[in-house]
Structure 1
Amino acid sequence: MKVLLVGGTGFVGHHIVHKLLERGHEVSVLARNRPATTPAAVAFHAADAQKLSDEDLDGLLAGHDGVVHAAAAAFFSPQDVDTAAFYRASNVEPVVRLLAAARRTGCDRAVLLGSYYVTLNRENPDSRLHEGSPYIQSRIEQAAWARRAAGDGMSLAVLELPYVLGATPGRPSALDPYVQQMAQGKGIVVYPGGTAVAAVSEVADATVAALDKRVDGDFPIATANISWADLLRRLAVASGHAPQRVWRLGPMETAAYFRLRNLRRRNEGVRSGFNIVKVGRLHASDMFVDTEIAGQKLGIKHADLDRAIRDTALAVSN
């Protein structure tokens, strides 16, 4: 199988590349720059996917069996732009164009790395998380529009990712700031709720399995559901740096904390892609998903959570 990855040099994409090569597949990567960590066996194409013409995309995808979109989506937008348009241009349109080109050139399988905010919105419809959150709305549209672009002849697995644990050379994880604060002897804030987490190796396994089996559908990927308190405690132990102070917030304090963070971001010239009130409430609750769906549908096993936590901590500490 020959696969093109968009975002194959990112935090998750790096592991997908290595997993595909390990399984004997041919790999092409489209990214702006080639890091030194990219395997020599990879056919690398240096370009910005959003700036390529349809003809360029057709040429890149010719001869490939599958495609993976693993590029990261933005949580923040500039303040001086139409926010909804920004997220559509960043998260929706490039995926639609990529899959339309894949369809034209005969690819029969695709994987899109999505977001567990879509899972949470789908499983808790009364919360209406997407309202006032252009980031979440764009992720919902991303999956729906991608499926239309892929058509009936192409399988499309949308892997809905939570916080991802692990280590990638030169690429920080979303949890790195917590470990950095501990290493610097600073205090940390602990939300009252919990979250799903996924080991980056499990995400890579799920991606390759979805391609191999031509699986179609939406799949939350989660190694475990864990409270914020337990997750941060285990990161502290693994890093060897206990935080100087721990602020354990209640629901109302969490909401206030998120509003404060939003004000700071606004002062930095960027705007959050989330409804701050709703995302504050969300982090004060349990952002848990079904951890068994991917295993049942894709035939993968859970990764070692302790190892993923250790890798996350040591990547920052070293």
Structure 2
Amino acid sequence: MKLFMIGGTGLLGSEAAKELISRGHEVTSIALPPLPSGAVLPPKMKIEFGNYLEMTDEEIEAHFAGCEGFIFAAGVDERVEGPAPIYALFKKYNIDPVKRLLRLAKKAGIKHSVILGSYFAYFNRIWPEKELTKWHPYIRSRKDQEDVALSFADEGFDVAVLELPYIFGTQPGRKPVWMFLVESIRNMKWLTLYPRGGTAMVTVRQVGQAIAGAIERNRGGHCYPIGYDNMKWKELLNIAHKYLGCPNKKVVTIPDWLYALGGKKLMKEQKAKNIEGGLNMVKFTELQCSELFIDKSLGCEILGVQQDNIDRAIGDSIELCIDIIDHKVQALGMKGE
């Protein structure tokens, strides 16, 4: 199958391309320059550097020509801050492009499409009483992104939205999302203070398998919660301590109100800078201190995701963070960094 991808040089896009090519598919992609230093892309992937947001419909349609599948592996996540209302930024990068690209893909005769989303949309769906879209612009944007994507699905056009959790694994030259965690642990010399709760997680290799599985197996319009391993924060931190060289460091669980106090301080600092985050960090306490677990039967097993070494993937992420913090390697961050 010939496939077109937006974001083929990113951590997830490049891994998906590797997996898809290994299955006999042909992958072409547009991605923003520069290529991270040291990153190795699948040699058989055809890559064009450019900004799809600046391309005309005709230019994008030319990339769709002859393709059967489309993957959107771009956009921004909840770490982004910007002028209020921040939802406008998420709409620009996560929602409007999906609406435009799926319209063009469908017009061009694409049959299968995959959109990379967030597991926060899954928890918004199963916990309506928490009103997550009311309090968190980012979660609202991911829910709206799903609604837009699924509106295009029909018998001749398959749409899969992958609701991705925290992801471990690395791409040389690109900052892992875990930089803040590693810096925080290092700054707490004797004890690691952290809230209760936990999260679903996958390795980057498993995300590649999920994307390939969605292209090959999904029919119609579906959202797939993706989670293979579920781990309490304390378990995760004990693994992180091992790779940070402090395996005997104690993890102390802080009360919810103390985490909320930190969130209040952060939001006050954002307000002073006239910026806003995608998550209301005071209200987010309830999620952070919950067990955000996903049964692998809901998505991973359906899409053929296989077991992987999550401990080693966590270790790879932690070790790259350390090298970046210690200025041993240079790395690109997300948009705006």
- The alignment's TM-score, normalised by the length of structure 1, stands at 0.91
- The residue aligned with 1:227 is 232
* Pairing 1:231-246 to 2, within 5 Å after superposition: 231-241=236-246
- The residue aligned with 1:299 is 304
1:159-191 deviations in Å (ceiling 9; x for gaps)? 101111111112222223323444577575412
Structure 1 position 245, deviation (Å): 7.8
- The residue aligned with 1:155 is 158
Give 1:240's aligned amino acid: G
Q: In 2, distance between residues paired with 1:263 and 1:242? A: 35
SS in structure 1 at match of 2:110: coil
1:197 to 201, 207, 210: 201
2:288 to 283, 295, 300: 283
Q: In 1, distance between residues paired with 2:135 and 2:300? A: 33
- The residue aligned with 2:20 is 20
* Pairing 1:1-318 to 2, within 5 Å after superposition: 1-33=1-33, 35=35, 37-75=40-78, 76-79=80-83, 81-182=84-185, 188-216=192-220, 217-241=222-246, 248-318=253-323
Aligned length: 317
More displaced stretch, 290-299 vs 137-146: 290-299
SS in structure 2 at match of 1:169: coil
Gaps of 5+ in 1: none
Relative to structure 1, the CA distance from residue 185 to residue 240 in structure 2 (aligned partners, 3 Å threshold; closer, same or farther) is same
Structure 1 position 246, deviation (Å): 5.4
SS in structure 1 at match of 2:143: helix
Gaps of 5+ in 2: 324-337
> Could you tell me whether the CA contact under 8 Å between 2:95 and 2:144 is conserved in 1?
yes
Give 1:263's aligned amino acid: K
Structure 1 position 254, deviation (Å): 1.3
> Could you tell me whether the CA contact under 8 Å between 1:255 and 1:277 is conserved in 2?
yes
SS in structure 1 at match of 2:207: helix
Give 1:274's aligned amino acid: L
More displaced stretch, 277-286 vs 293-302: 293-302
> Could you tell me whether the CA contact under 8 Å between 1:34 and 1:44 is conserved in 2?
no
SS in structure 2 at match of 1:120: helix
Give 1:120's aligned amino acid: F
Relative to structure 1, the CA distance from residue 244 to residue 297 in structure 2 (aligned partners, 3 Å threshold; closer, same or farther) is closer
> Could you tell me whether the CA contact under 8 Å between 2:90 and 2:138 is conserved in 1?
yes
SS in structure 2 at match of 1:3: strand
Q: In 1, distance between residues paired with 2:93 and 2:42? A: 28
Structure 1 position 122, deviation (Å): 0.6
Relative to structure 1, the CA distance from residue 201 to residue 268 in structure 2 (aligned partners, 3 Å threshold; closer, same or farther) is farther
Structure 1 position 219, deviation (Å): 0.8
Structure 1 position 93, deviation (Å): 0.4
Give 2:137's aligned amino acid: P
Q: In 1, distance between residues paired with 2:100 and 2:143? A: 17
More displaced stretch, 258-267 vs 89-98: 258-267
Q: CA RMSD in A?
A: 2.2
Relative to structure 1, the CA distance from residue 150 to residue 34 in structure 2 (aligned partners, 3 Å threshold; closer, same or farther) is farther
More displaced stretch, 173-182 vs 281-290: 173-182
Structure 1 position 151, deviation (Å): 4.2
> Could you tell me whether the CA contact under 8 Å between 2:228 and 2:294 is conserved in 1?
no
More displaced stretch, 100-109 vs 240-249: 240-249
Structure 1 position 290, deviation (Å): 2.2
Q: In 1, distance between residues paired with 2:58 and 2:300? A: 38
